[in-house]
Amino acid sequence: MHLLISVESLDEAVSIMATGVAIIDAKNTAEGALGAQFPSVTRDIVAAANRSGVRTSATLGDLPYKPGTAALAALGVASVGVKYVKAGLHGLNTHQQALEMMDAIRQAACMADENARVVASGYADWRSFGGLSPDNLVTAATDTQCHAVMLDTAVKNGRSLFEHMAVAELKSFVETAHAAGLCVGLAGSLRLDHADALLDLQPDIVGVRGAVCSDDTDRRSIISPRKVATFCRIFQALSTTSDVRSPATLQDHGPSVAQRY
């Protein structure tokens, strides 16, 4: 499992460069769960991360069903050099709408950078607002040749991913996405005491912010490098001791997850 830490500023990003974090994610929590950061901030984070050899991602926002608007956002994010372009599919609820959104986003991202990897992000609490189901998320991501799918939580009230979806549902989501050749990310108020459950689910990426903030009850407080280092150490240990899925299980669905990551 690779650890993704969401940051809101260049200072936060620089403070965790040497912790062992795999991916630094540019985000703006003032604008929602997957709030989009300003271009200049994202550009500076990417430049600093590149100098340190750390991969980057950036969110496009909790998006409404507006493929053209989303495509322009994707073009902008990909143009500053992020490796992973994350789109939060919030204001839609059908496979067809998700298909149109992700197709527009992927094409636009690839216009700026043919190597950009697009992540279709949904929400574990989708039932509470009539959002897109995880099944439709996976199908749309597969049909539009996205790189990955990710689940987060839309409402940040302290309730975690595991309080919105049963472990069996999450396991089905991860396994279905892996079978389709997609990388899988899980996020949503995750804490260290979720580590064993995450190990059982075997996502490729685990996303965290609130639990590594100086005040772990306030995801808008500043990130603590010490807490990030602790998370990195624990998740790196889990990654080396867990069983690795065989790439052969994905051979009928294109490159293995390990090859695509």
Angstrom distance (rounded) from CA 81 to CA 79: 5
Catalytic residue of the set 83, 86, 156, 171? 86
CA atoms within 13 A on the CB side of 71: 14
User: What token pair was written down for 172?
Assistant: 């089905």
Alpha carbon distance 56, 115 (integer Å): 13
State both tokens at 97: 């709408």
Residue 83 among the catalytic residues? no
CA distances from 141 to 65, 91, 121, 254 (A): 16, 16, 9, 14
24 three-state secondary structure: strand
Q: Which residues contact 237 (CB under 8 A, 6 or more apart)?
A: none
* Residue 215 exposed, middle or buried by CB count within 10 Å (0-12, 13-18, 19+): exposed
Q: Which two tokens stand for residue 205?
A: 């990426």
* Selected catalytic residue, list 27, 83, 156, 171: 27
Q: Which amino acid belongs to residue 173?
A: F
**Among the listed residues 158, 198, 221, the one whose alpha carbon sits nearest the alpha carbon of residue 4:** 198
HSE of 77, CA atoms in CB hemisphere, 13 A: 33
Known catalytic membership, residue 171: no
Q: Which residues are catalytic?
A: 27, 86
